Chains A and B, each alone.
Chain A
Amino acid sequence: MSATGIGASVRRKEDHRFITGAGRYTDDINRPDQAHAYFLRSPHAHATINRIDATKAMAMPGVLAVLTGADLEADKIGGLICGWMIHSKDGSPMKAGPHPALAQGKVRYVGDHVAVIVADTYAQARDAAEAVVVDYTVLPAVVDTATATKSKTVIHDVAPDNTVYNWHLGNKDETEAAFKAAAHVVKLDLVNNRLAPNPMEPRAALGVYDKGEDHYTLYTTSQNPHVARLVLSAFIGIAPENKLRVIAPDVGGGFGSKIFIYAEETVCVWAAKKVGRPVKWNSDRTEAFLSDAHGRDHVTHAELALDANGKMLGLRAHTIANLGAYLSTFSSSVPTYLYAPLLSGQYNIPAIYAEVDAVYTTTAPVDAYRGAGRPEATFVVERLVEKAARQIGMDPARFRQINYITKFPHQTPVIMCYDAGNYNASMKKALEIADYKGFPKRRREAERRGKLRGIGFSSYIEACGIAPSAAVGSLGAGVGLWESAEVRVNPVGTVEILTGSHSHGQGHETTFAQLVSDRLGVPLEAVSIVHGDTDKVQMGMGTYGSRSGAVGMSAISKALDKVIAKGKKVAAYVLEASEKDIDFKDGKFSVKGTDKTLDFGSCALQAYIAHKFNGQDLEPGLKEGAFYDPTNFTFPAGVHIAEVEIDPDTGVTTVVNWTAVDDFGVIINPMIVEGQVHGGIAQGIGQALLEGVIYNKDGQLVTASYMDYTMPRADDLPSFKVGMTTTACPSNPLGIKGCGEAGAIAAPPALINAITDAVGHEDVAMPATPKVVWRAAQKAVSKMAAE
């Protein structure tokens, strides 16, 4: 292993600019003469718009335009789209209601976009918004996930019972038979709480129109600028792709919420032509709470069937998934193909059947958020498994171990074919690090101090590296999910990597450069990673679902293979040897059995000056591209163990120990991976203990600022103990599985399992705030007193 190659904990190249204020985010980009947009948003959860009167606003200082849904319609600008078609059990397509970027006739959630005011300054636009008179007829709100289909209020005419689809996966008959044959049946009702994504940088957009070229440029906070361009061009109809450049510069976190194509960037780029000036918008934090796509929001009933020895026979789940008021870009796939195929967990379960009803409510759209479907699946499986162990009186670690899949490849009953893993290795290591044997002693000691101590497991699995294009196409995806790369070697031997992946906190500028340094033997400083600009980078699919390593780097690897093969041809001419006798190692081409060598930089120069070969035999230059389409998902998996102490008097839960043992396959940069694990666990603990989006019964968002929405802070978290086990992924050339979401997937069930262990019953909902835990702990306290 070289000091900068694969496996080295190289410090992140990009951090210097981030921590010295030299990063360049969308809001840092300004154009001369730019105007500012303010979005007038609905104060009502559900209302008909009878009239919008902007006469007074138009007359106010600095106001350039007040645009509404009628203007979009007049310009034939299409609505926002959902790019994944889900079919119901009966074969009917999902019921997708219209989703205009500015309301057309109706608003469907608090924060829905009614009009945009464009003015010389943001303050002027905001002041003018006060003067826009909107005549609403207020309609009833539909808020509750579990009962949305029973409401008489219709949100979209195409979905009279507020149902988007009734979908299913697995084998119903086999699963029913498994339950009939079961010695034990374990049942659980669960709510997966709704979350606000909260990236550090709020969304922003700057639309620019060049009249001379009839060309648009959109700077935006996107995880996938090419997908944004595709949707804005082909579906929304802003401009053809060759007339629209999308740039996603430095982006300060996304967690999924910046995958989607939203109203604001659509309107800014469209309005730039309307007003003849660049149009800038920057979200404030409350707007982010209102209009960034939320995550999770499932209500589930799940059951597990066991034989007399505790072996799993079958699992069934019925889930109601709240998709909010409109179908966001990939929303439909999250509670279906990103969820139910993970219900086998790490276990050998012969029969599985899942039913998912997706519903509309008058709340913000719900879409992918760190983990996207997989945290929901893991929460169901791991809560159910923990309860099952308790119900049959078996140690929860042992119960998992006897049910683990041990032979690979393993075909589950729900689509997935796990390619590699060693689940018991992770469990053994986790038990050791967590000192599981010492837990009873720690619990007794805590009891002496009047504290309830509990321990909980999560044997999570996820599917990353999304995904083989033909496979996802057959499941309804509107796009292919390959990735692209171009390796441009400059004549001096420096290298530019153009990647379709997008870095918004992941550290690609470092890890991708490590791969190149490792393969080409060039120093890290000689490698630049170029991403986030549709004019610079060939078509790409972006970053989400922990795919940048497994898919994005595999594309780079494939392009590097081509560069080395071309370099060998060049070296053969220069070294006057046969191409098949050329070796390439540690940055040097050499002729087998001789001391003749050509370093990589000199080879690049020779490729460009082209003096040593004939252009008819070999093309000059050293630049290669590749598109990599994965052959399978990847399956990172691991075991997290949470240990908590609860103060029964206050209900405060303290996370005292956290063990994470993960198998991410081959690791490029252990330090960055550990950072991803830490961040993921923090978000998972946030979901389990603190975070929750709340709408009141009128559909008003109660948690719209950090006064009411609690994010995890350093003092909520213990020092994590992180361990690794490794089985290389056989499905991609680098053996990478992906690590970006693992912590957020693993943590919530581990923590709730620990709390339910401490209080001695299952009735603990997320977020397990002091109020929730205090109530739950009172039962335990009265039991302790009785004993």
Chain B
Amino acid sequence: MAMKMSGEVTLPASRDVVWAKLNDPEALKACIPGCEELVKDDDTHFSAVAKIKLGPVKATFRGKVELSELDPPNGYVISGEGEGGIAGFAKGGAKVTLTDAEGGGTLLSYEVDAQVGGKIMQLGSRLIDSVAKKYADEFFAKFAALVAA
């Protein structure tokens, strides 16, 4: 099921700080909901393990994360593909753009395009949009706290 979502958030830090954190696996790991492992394979590739819960389905997804279209400190595309075993699969990406916010700080805008399939889809299709929104909110709340620190 294709899922599209976009939004923006104002972060209380400079673009350079935000950019650095967006490329820091430890920072990302701390912010991605359910992320148990995020290991840097090289500058633009990571291996990830995350627990995702969607309605009645809870599964551990293992997969690869790739950064592309890098334009420091203005943004990148972060994309990934994960297998959740019998729970199904998830793949997709987000285009992240950083600009200076009015009144200081950095405005981060994102456009997400994701697909899920298998059991997670069969049982959770009606929940995907709301769960994705919740995950995004959680991510940015933590990320905002992290860049402010």
Q: Chain B residue with minimal CB distance to A129? A: B86
B2 touching A704, Cβ below 8 Å: no
B123 touching A286, Cβ below 8 Å: yes
Interface presence of B88 (CB below 8 A):
yes
Interface presence of A581 (CB below 8 A):
no
Interface presence of B118 (CB below 8 A):
yes
Interface presence of B119 (CB below 8 A):
yes
B89 touching A43, Cβ below 8 Å: yes
Expressed in whole angstroms, the Cα–Cα distance for A355 and B115 within the complex equals 38
A698 touching B2, Cβ below 8 Å: yes
Expressed in whole angstroms, the Cα–Cα distance for A290 and B88 within the complex equals 14
**Which residues from 80 to 125 on chain B have a C-beta closer than 8 Å to any C-beta of chain A?**
85-86, 88-89, 115-119, 121-123, 125
Interface presence of B1 (CB below 8 A):
yes
Expressed in whole angstroms, the Cα–Cα distance for A696 and B3 within the complex equals 12
**Which residues from 39 to 59 on chain A have a C-beta closer than 8 Å to any C-beta of chain B?**
40-41, 43-45
Interface presence of B133 (CB below 8 A):
no
- Determine how close the nearest CB of chain B comes to the CB of A39; give it in whole angstroms: 10
Secondary structure dominating the interface of A: loop
B125 touching A43, Cβ below 8 Å: no
B122 touching A44, Cβ below 8 Å: no
Chain B interface residue number, banded:
10 to 19
Q: Chain A residue with minimal CB distance to B122? A: A704
B122 touching A696, Cβ below 8 Å: no
Query: 1/0 contact trace for B117-142 toward A, CB 8 Å?
Result: 11101110110000000000000000
B125 touching A708, Cβ below 8 Å: yes
Q: Chain A residue with minimal CB distance to B59? A: A130
Expressed in whole angstroms, the Cα–Cα distance for A707 and B122 within the complex equals 10
A698 touching B123, Cβ below 8 Å: no
A707 touching B86, Cβ below 8 Å: no
A43 touching B88, Cβ below 8 Å: yes
Expressed in whole angstroms, the Cα–Cα distance for A744 and B86 within the complex equals 36
A700 touching B86, Cβ below 8 Å: no
Expressed in whole angstroms, the Cα–Cα distance for A584 and B122 within the complex equals 62
What A residues does B89 contact at CB under 8 A?
A: 43-44
What B residues does A701 contact at CB under 8 A?
A: 121-122
- Determine how close the nearest CB of chain B comes to the CB of A707; give it in whole angstroms: 6
Identify which of B85, B121, B126 contacts A700 (C-beta below 8 A). B121
Expressed in whole angstroms, the Cα–Cα distance for A331 and B131 within the complex equals 39
Q: Chain B residue with minimal CB distance to A44? A: B117
What B residues does A126 contact at CB under 8 A?
A: 86
B121 touching A130, Cβ below 8 Å: no
Count of CB-CB pairs between chains A and B under 8 Å: 57
Given contacts A40-B86, A126-B86, contact A290 B122 (CB under 8 A): yes
Interface presence of A591 (CB below 8 A):
no
Interface presence of A492 (CB below 8 A):
no
A129 touching B85, Cβ below 8 Å: yes
B118 touching A130, Cβ below 8 Å: no
What A residues does B1 contact at CB under 8 A?
A: 696, 698, 700, 702
- Determine how close the nearest CB of chain B comes to the CB of A566; give it in whole angstroms: 58
A130 touching B117, Cβ below 8 Å: no
Query: 1/0 contact trace for A90-134 toward B, CB 8 Å?
Result: 000000000000000000001000000000000000100111000
**Which residues from 696 to 741 on chain A have a C-beta closer than 8 Å to any C-beta of chain B?**
696-698, 700-702, 704-705, 707-708
A130 touching B85, Cβ below 8 Å: yes
B86 touching A286, Cβ below 8 Å: no
B123 touching A43, Cβ below 8 Å: no
What A residues does B116 contact at CB under 8 A?
A: 700
A707 touching B119, Cβ below 8 Å: no
Expressed in whole angstroms, the Cα–Cα distance for A131 and B125 within the complex equals 25
Expressed in whole angstroms, the Cα–Cα distance for A40 and B84 within the complex equals 13
A700 touching B123, Cβ below 8 Å: no
Identify which of B2, B117, B126 contacts A43 (C-beta below 8 A). B117
- Determine how close the nearest CB of chain B comes to the CB of A778; give it in whole angstroms: 25
- Determine how close the nearest CB of chain A comes to the CB of B99; give it in whole angstroms: 33
Q: Chain B residue with minimal CB distance to A699? A: B117
Q: Chain B residue with minimal CB distance to A707? A: B126
Expressed in whole angstroms, the Cα–Cα distance for A696 and B118 within the complex equals 12
Interface presence of A353 (CB below 8 A):
no
A289 touching B86, Cβ below 8 Å: no
What B residues does A289 contact at CB under 8 A?
A: 122
What B residues does A707 contact at CB under 8 A?
A: 123, 126
What B residues does A696 contact at CB under 8 A?
A: 1-2
Q: Chain A residue with minimal CB distance to B125? A: A702
Expressed in whole angstroms, the Cα–Cα distance for A45 and B118 within the complex equals 9
- Determine how close the nearest CB of chain B comes to the CB of A110; give it in whole angstroms: 7
What B residues does A704 contact at CB under 8 A?
A: 121-123, 125
Expressed in whole angstroms, the Cα–Cα distance for A29 and B99 within the complex equals 66
What B residues does A43 contact at CB under 8 A?
A: 88-89, 117-119, 121
Expressed in whole angstroms, the Cα–Cα distance for A469 and B89 within the complex equals 48
B122 touching A705, Cβ below 8 Å: yes
Expressed in whole angstroms, the Cα–Cα distance for A705 and B126 within the complex equals 11
What B residues does A700 contact at CB under 8 A?
A: 1, 116-118, 121-122, 125
Given contacts A40-B86, A129-B86, A130-B85, contact A698 B117 (CB under 8 A): yes
Q: Chain B residue with minimal CB distance to A38? A: B86
- Determine how close the nearest CB of chain B comes to the CB of A536; give it in whole angstroms: 39
What A residues does B122 contact at CB under 8 A?
A: 110, 286, 289-290, 700-702, 704-705
- Determine how close the nearest CB of chain B comes to the CB of A706; give it in whole angstroms: 10
What B residues does A286 contact at CB under 8 A?
A: 119, 122-123
Expressed in whole angstroms, the Cα–Cα distance for A704 and B88 within the complex equals 14
- Determine how close the nearest CB of chain B comes to the CB of A347; give it in whole angstroms: 43
- Determine how close the nearest CB of chain A comes to the CB of B15; give it in whole angstroms: 36
Q: Chain A residue with minimal CB distance to B55? A: A707
Identify which of B86, B115, B123 contacts A705 (C-beta below 8 A). B123
What B residues does A110 contact at CB under 8 A?
A: 117-118, 122
Query: 1/0 contact trace for A472-489 toward B, CB 8 Å?
Result: 000000000000000000
- Determine how close the nearest CB of chain B comes to the CB of A713; give it in whole angstroms: 19
- Determine how close the nearest CB of chain A comes to the CB of B109; give it in whole angstroms: 27
Query: 1/0 contact trace for A192-231 toward B, CB 8 Å?
Result: 0000000000000000000000000000000000000000
Query: 1/0 contact trace for A287-310 toward B, CB 8 Å?
Result: 001100000000000000000000
- Residue from B1, B2, B89, B122 with most neighbouring chain A CB atoms (10 Å): B122
Contacts A43-B88, A129-B86, A700-B116 aside, 14 further interface pairs with beta carbons under 8 A come to A40-B86, A41-B86, A43-B117, A43-B118, A44-B118, A45-B117, A110-B117, A130-B86, A131-B85, A286-B122, A290-B122, A701-B121, A704-B122, A704-B123
8 pairs, CB–CB < 8 Å, chain A vs chain B: A40-B86, A43-B88, A126-B86, A130-B85, A286-B122, A700-B121, A701-B121, A704-B122
Which 10 pairs from chain A and chain B are nearest by CB? A43-B118, A704-B122, A130-B85, A43-B88, A700-B121, A43-B117, A702-B125, A700-B117, A129-B86, A696-B1
Which residues on A are within 8 Å of B, measured CB to CB? 40-41, 43-45, 110, 126, 129-131, 286, 289-290, 696-698, 700-702, 704-705, 707-708
